[in-house]
Chain A
Amino acid sequence: MILRGKAWKFGDSISTDHIAPGRYFHLRTNLPELARHVLEDANTEFASEMSPGDFVVAGRNFGLGSSREHAPRIIKLAGVNAVLAQSFARIFFRNSINVGLPVLELDTSGIEQGDELEIDLAAGTVRNVTRDQMLTFAPLPDVMVKILNDGGLVEHFRKYGDFNL
């Protein structure tokens, strides 16, 4: 499947507090409402301006901080198709797979705000249409591919009734 969309560029060290700010703690049981504030503390315009299908493109250590699974959930719920970053924090990475949000590790330094991207998840390629560049990303570990393909850990369990990794 080819994913197409526009890049929204973020910097290094985007924390779960940027993604799902603590002041909206009371919205954690209302994800659609929480998603209206996604990434608000990194870019106040992102949630209202992004279009479904767009990509979050960031620098190092994306998603550092808390274990709140709400962070990848609201990125997905907002319509983001995938997050591309130089590197990810561990819990965010794992949570993303569990909720079915593709997270791709690659050199994002050449991608600029607004660039049109085409991502082929199976082939492991990102085509920067705006700059006519081809990038590749490291494949996910097999266990994560399995969970992601099942649609997340809950769906994996619904299918097998147990871990089947």
Chain B
Amino acid sequence: MTSTLAEKIIGAHVGRSVKPGEIVVTGVDVTALQDGTGPLALQQLEDLGLVRAHNPEKTILFIDHAAPSPRKELSNAHMSLREFAAKTGAVLSEINEGVCHQRLVESYASPGDILIGADSHTCTSGALAAFSTGMGSTDVGIGIATGKTWLKVPETLRVVITGKLNRGVYAKDLILSLIGDIGADGATYMALEFAGPGAEAMTMSERFTLCNMAVEAGAKTGLFASDEKTRGWLLEQGREECFQELKADEDAEYTRTVEIDAGTLEPTISAPHTVDNTKTIGEAAGTRVDQVFIGTCTNGRIEDLRIAADILRGRQRNPDTRLIVTPASRSVYIQAASEGLLEVFAEAGALVTGPGCGACVGVHGGILGDGEVCLATQNRNFQGRMGNAEAFIYLGSPATAAATAIAGEIADPREYLR
């Protein structure tokens, strides 16, 4: 029997081949939660008398959504995570470490793993050929305590990428365009498997961006085969021994295959209030913008900051447009500092914050005012997402964001490249 990547990873865990639709109870390799979902998970475990971590070194409690805490209620929630870590030996990722998904790909997720996290963008780690999926507090709590979860083996939608992105067009534009095509529920309950020459050519940073947004099409996870680029990433992170090569069988069966010629894409925007409400830059250009936000688990990596800094270097943001830059993790922050990128942003008129989720979650650090418009590099533009249901959020690439900050209105990054 042949297997897709998702079927292969789940099959290896249950010791037999599996097919879509089957329900399995499986061991999990990594469990994660964050400060928004964590307290509820830990409370469930307390109620059950299961205050323990089955695999403490691979149980990570992230304080990233409201870090540092803006309110005493959240400070108390953070304390509950610290206490659980102290009691069980689980890893606590403190306020300075950054967004959970970036930290997971840097230090914890490996090819072949099953990873469950109480955050919907847990699918990011699928770029390392891990079956990595978001669940709720109770599911992840049970996973932490017992090392197990139940899964329905998903059908797989294969996304074959051909061609090469043109100058000024990025992985973010590709994934927004795909979601616009298949819809916000176009892959509900499925795994997205990215393949083809265009996928093989992508950097790890680009792969993380694609997999991060798989859930925005309703998918359970996004997956890439692991290859020399995956090995290179793990080597850079000091854990090359975690590498194994994994790919789908040649004649695996897919529920659906979608082809994208990357060479035909243009800079793409998601307009309010859904991610699948996509427009080409030509259709969206000229929309006045009050705030630009560059960062998050989608586009807060060093490659993203370099792209934005190249556009912003020696230029100024529009006086009526605020610019916030939030590196995804501590190591991204340090690297950006050493390359002088943080200075470029500050000189261009940006507020550079410490690493974390930043303004994306709507808790702190850039809540929008009534009627205000934001262009952000994050993954979601739902009504109320950035803390105000009366505000409007557009999504785009870091290059589009940088160009927009300069222009004060949504702008085509190709006009600002040097």
B-binding residues in A (CB < 8 A)? 13, 15, 17-18, 21-23, 25-30, 40-41, 60-61, 64-70, 73, 87, 89-91, 94-95, 98-99, 141, 143, 152-154, 157-158, 162-163, 165
Contacts and interface: CB of A to CB of B under 8 A. Distances in A.
A152 B44 CA distance: 11
23 contacts: A17-B384, A21-B389, A22-B362, A22-B363, A22-B387, A23-B362, A23-B384, A26-B363, A29-B80, A61-B185, A67-B119, A69-B118, A69-B137, A90-B188, A91-B135, A94-B139, A95-B136, A98-B136, A141-B23, A143-B152, A153-B142, A163-B25, A163-B150
A94 B48 contact: no
B73 A30 contact: yes
Contacts of B220: 90
A61 B382 contact: no
B135 A41 contact: no
B138 interface: yes
A98 B363 contact: no
B65 A89 contact: no
Instruction: Please give me the 8 A-B residue pairs with the lowest Cβ-Cβ distance, nearest first.
Output: A22-B362, A69-B136, A95-B136, A26-B73, A41-B389, A15-B382, A61-B185, A17-B382
Contacts of B386: 22
Given A13-B273, A69-B136, 15 more contacts: A18-B383, A27-B73, A29-B40, A30-B73, A67-B37, A67-B118, A89-B185, A91-B120, A91-B135, A98-B136, A143-B152, A157-B50, A157-B142, A163-B150, A165-B23
A25 B37 contact: no
A2 B66 CA distance: 42
Interface string B357-398: 000011100010000000000001011111111000000000
B233 interface: no
Contacts of B122: 67
B274 A13 contact: yes
A95 B80 CA distance: 22
Contacts, number: 143
Quick one: which of A21, A66, A70 has the most chain B CB within 10 A?
Answer: A66
Given A28-B40, A65-B120, A22 B184 contact: no
A164 to B, nearest CB: 9
Contacts of A87: 185, 188
Given A141-B23, A163-B25, A154 B47 contact: yes
Contacts of B184: 13, 61, 64
B39 A158 contact: no
B16 interface: no
A94 B36 contact: no
Quick one: which of B80, B118, B185, B363 has the most chain A CB within 10 A?
Answer: B185
Nearest to A61: B185
Nearest to A152: B138
Contacts of A65: 120, 380, 382
Contacts of A141: 23, 152
B407 to A, nearest CB: 28
A91 B138 CA distance: 12
Contacts of B77: 28-29
B367 A28 contact: no
B39 A25 contact: no
Nearest to B44: A154
Given A13-B274, A41-B384, A98-B139, A69 B40 contact: yes
B361 A25 contact: yes
